Amino acid sequence: MSAGDDNRFRLRPGRIRADTPKIGRARSFLTKVRTVTRQQQAASGGSGRPRRGGPGHAPKGEGSIASGRGVRRGRGATFVRARNLSNGWSHRRPGSRRVIVKSRSVRGAGRNGKAAAHLRYIQRDGTARDGERGRLYSGNEDRADGDAFLDRGRDDRHQFRFIVSPEDAGDLADLTGYTRDLMAQVEADLGTKLDWVAVNHHNTGHPHVHVVVNGRDELGEDLVINGDYLANGIRERASELVTLELGPVTEIEQRLKLVAEIDQDRLTRIDRAMLAEAEDRFLDLRHEPDDPRCQADRALRLRRLGKLSDMGLATEHAPGVWELSEQLEPTLREMGERGDIIRTMQKALRVDGTERDPMSFTIHDAAPATPIVGRVIDKHLSDELGEELTLVVDGIDGRAHHVSGIDPARVAEARIGSIVEIGPPDSAGSPSDRAIAGMAEGGIYRPSRHLEQARFEGRVPGGDYDGFVASHVRRLEALRRAGIVERIDTDQWRIPEDFTTRAAAHDAGRGGRANIRVLSTFDLGSQVGADGATWLDRRLVGGVVSDLVPAGFGEQVREAMEQRRERLIEQGDAVRRPDGRVSYRRNLIAVLQEREVARAGVKLAATKSVPFRAVADGETVSGTFTGTTQLSSGKFAIVEKSHEFTLVPWRPVIERQIGRDVAGTVQGRSVSWQIGRSRGLGL
């Protein structure tokens, strides 16, 4: 055979691949062996769950050494030692397949609710292959119990989270089986059983797996994994398994992958190679090498440089002599991230049944400068290893908005289709800033005086007065580093006259959190036929239509308002006058809210042993806070007594008082709550 024949035909070991669709494709022999092995393990009664403390536990594995707070796994493992003795983790075996592994350790995730929130979001709708809700599984359970997993890790010092994304994940016959094999190998390397669950995601162009590991080993001790193994060892194991199933990457396959990267608007492997080889950002490609493989690499670089030149990121000073821009890497990274965001927004709009020009997309790196009103069309984790959320909002201004870094607690009630308003941080400052300014005398804030005042008023939920004041001191420490306040001593802080304004400006400059309001948890269709006071009703009564752009969601809101107006006329809550204008019932919002509350109360009474009683404005209510109910008029708290129950407007101040006695005075569409029977001042 000639040298050229090697480029036309290459024997490739690995499983036989067919041209049939991936769904329903025949499983490889390796996958069948794995399945039978797991079935035999399940039949023998093995649970695969780590044991927690107590006698009879297995001894520590070879790959573990004692550490201060637990057993440090991975540092002494044979696998790690072998890699360190060779060329290190950066050495990549020829033909191995690429896998990206991201990891994060979260402290106290079980105690602060972050573990439950993360598990909830990685199982959200639309992540499975068929677009359904993501399915949680474990080493030997196809449907793992998430609540039980969270309960086992509730008191763990930390929780590990991984995202495993093989470059060729779409070609794997069984992504779940692959994940189980990977975690079994990790357990062998660390010398301990792990308590883990996982979810496969198919909602992006590259299928990937989310793995969550509780923070204790099989001995019940803190699981401490060596940093080198987290950063490199798991990725190496993941790569070995993909290569074992699909076979090594051939030169032709690798070349095709690189050719596909030439015109991409993101940082590619070709770019990274050129940046590594360049000297003072100059790359000399004048001389053509003799090696055919190097000739092909040179051709790829020249084609990519042509693309970068068109983008203004590379300059050819002489034939074959190129200068790479200082902004090449940050610009391409930003373009790649923006491209991913635009594809996410386009997908969310397509699911919603609409199409939109990408030029109408707005990506907000911080809180928007002007308020955005629209419907939620997507809600997902900003960083899939963290907790902060991203909302994609179809605005009434005719644009689609992407806003990241949102506190999950602020949008806990918002669902897909809910109406929200997202604006800049509160210019009046945060509640803690206003409290500090209010407590300052002569420009001096004293934590000791604040503590006395808090105890006297009894207004701190849970009674943690020391922690309440300490949170204000921590805020002052952060503002001191920004040069806004001055610490005189441990009990005196100098506060400027424009304190709240400067603090708010400081937060905005740091990308302060957006100010978010959930205007309605109901979508437009539900609001049109609702019997309560809806967001559409408030717009109709206010006569606000000028902000509705006659396109996209703005046009849909205009049509929904027309339909809602006709509905109100039909039920006698509005009248169309001879001149065509419409007059609405006096106090329409209050009337609609009372009507819905009465209906909801009667419906709830059918499930309780006590009757419902409506409350009047100005009346004081008391009883046990037993739960909430979401109506089109808003969220309402259920307050029960031994002989009756009632519904009153909910406020966040009683969120943690479930099951406790509360009291409050109804004031219009709100309540001034008094937490506990013995407290006399309202919140």
Residue 213 and residue 194: Cα distance in Å, rounded?
A: 7
Q: Angle formed by the axes of helices 269-277 and 292-310, to 10°?
A: 100
Per-residue buried b or exposed e for 204-213, using 16+ beta carbons within 10 Å of the residue's own CB: eeebbbbbbb
3-state secondary structure 394-436: EECCCCEEEEEEECHHHHCCCCCCCEEEEECCCCCCCHHHHHH
Could you give the strand order of the β-sheet that contains 634-640, starting from the edge strand earlier in sequence? 645-649, 634-640, 620-631, 661-667, 670-675
Please check the confidence at residue 491 and state whether its pLDDT lies above 70: yes
- Per the CB < 8 A criterion, the answer to whether 392 and 382 are in contact is no
Instruction: Kindly tell me if the per-residue pLDDT of 255 is higher than 80.
Output: yes
pLDDT, mean of residues 489-515 = 78
Please indicate whether residue 407 or residue 7 has the higher confidence score (pLDDT).
407
| Confidence at residue 111, expressed as pLDDT on a 0 to 100 scale | 81
CA distance 318 to 300: 18
Q: Are 245 and 172 in contact (CB under 8 A)?
A: yes
Backbone torsions φ then ψ of 78, nearest 5 degrees: -60, -40
pLDDT at residue 275 above 70? yes
pLDDT digit string, tens, across residues 339-389: 888 888 887 787 767 777 777 888 887 778 788 999 998 887 777 777 778
More confident residue, 321 or 463: 321
Identify whether the C-beta of residue 82 lies closer than 8 Å to the C-beta of residue 237.
no
Candidate ranges 31-40, 41-50, 58-67, 388-397; pick with highest mean pLDDT: 388-397
pLDDT of residue 274: 93
pLDDT confidence of residue 617: 81
pLDDT at 1 over 70: no
| Strands of the 70-73 sheet, one edge to the other | 64-66, 70-73, 222-225
Q: What is the pLDDT of residues 565-592, one digit of tens each?
A: 999 999 999 999 988 889 999 889 989 9
Interatomic CA distance for residues 68 and 423, integer angstroms: 47
pLDDT value for 32: 61
* Residue 13: band (very low, low, confident or very high) from pLDDT cuts 50, 70, 90: low
3-state secondary structure of 117: helix
Got the DSSP string for 234-299?
HHHHHHHHHHHHH-PPPHHHHHHHHHHTTT-SS--HHHHHHHHH-BTTEEE--SPPSSHHHHHHHH
Between 674 and 659, the more confident residue is 659
Average per-residue pLDDT for the chain = 81
The pairs formed by 438-446 with CB atoms below 8 angstroms and a separation of 24 or more are 440/495, 440/499, 443/494, 443/495, 443/496, 443/497, 444/488, 444/492, 444/493, 444/494, 444/495, 445/476, 445/492, 445/493, 445/495, 446/491, 446/492, 446/493
- Residue written as token pair 């509005």: 574
Q: In angstroms, rounded to a whole number, what is the distance separating the alpha carbons of residues 427 and 419?
A: 23
Q: Which two tokens stand for residue 491?
A: 């009990």
Contact 225, 74 (CB under 8 A): yes
When pLDDT is averaged across residues 213-241 and rounded to a whole number, the result is 90
**Which domains are assigned to the chain?**
77-246 (3.30.930), 251-325 (1.10.10), 330-425 (no CATH), 431-512 (no CATH), 522-585 (no CATH), 589-674 (2.40.50.140)
Which whole number is the average pLDDT over 269-297? 88
Q: Work out the widest C-alpha separation in the chain, in whole angstroms.
A: 96
Report which of residues 672 and 643 the model is more confident about: 643
Beta-carbon contacts of residue 6 (< 8 Å; ≥ 6 apart): none
Predicted pLDDT at 68:
41
Beta-carbon contacts of residue 410 (< 8 Å; ≥ 6 apart): 513, 516
Say which range, 38-42, 364-368, 518-522, 608-612, has the weakest mean pLDDT: 38-42
pLDDT tens-place string over residues 421-453: 998 876 556 778 888 988 899 899 999 999 888
Percent of the chain whose predicted confidence (pLDDT) is above 90:
33
Give the pLDDT score at 574: 92
Phi, psi of 573 (to 5 degrees): -95, 0
> Which is more confident, 34 or 651?
651
CA–CA separation, 186 and 236 (whole Å) = 11
Distance from C-alpha of 598 to C-alpha of 633, rounded to nearest angstrom: 12
Beta sheet of 444-445, edge-to-edge order:
444-445, 492-494, 486-489
Helix or strand or coil: residue 333?
Answer: helix
Could you tell me if 71 and 121 are in contact, meaning their C-beta atoms sit under 8 angstroms apart? no
Looking at residue 162, its amino acid is F
User: In this structure, how many other beta carbons lie within 10 angstroms of the beta carbon of residue 359?
Assistant: 7
485 close to 473: Cβ distance less than 8 angstroms: no
Taking residues 513-520, report their average pLDDT.
Answer: 84
Reported as type and span, the H/E element at residue 32 is helix 29-43
Cβ neighbour number for residue 542 with a 10 Å cutoff: 8
**Whole-number percent of the chain with pLDDT over 70:** 81
Mean of the pLDDT values across residues 509-531? Answer: 83
Calculate ∠ Cα 551-555-556, nearest 5°: 130
CA distances from 572 to 21, 58, 532 (A): 58, 75, 14
Distance (Å, rounded) from C-alpha 358 to C-alpha 655?
Answer: 40
Tokens of 43: 């039949």
Task: Dump pLDDT digits (tens) for 153-196.
Answer: 999 999 999 999 998 888 888 999 999 999 999 999 998 999 99
Q: Dihedral angle at the C-alpha atoms of 633, 634, 639, 643, nearest 10 degrees?
A: 20
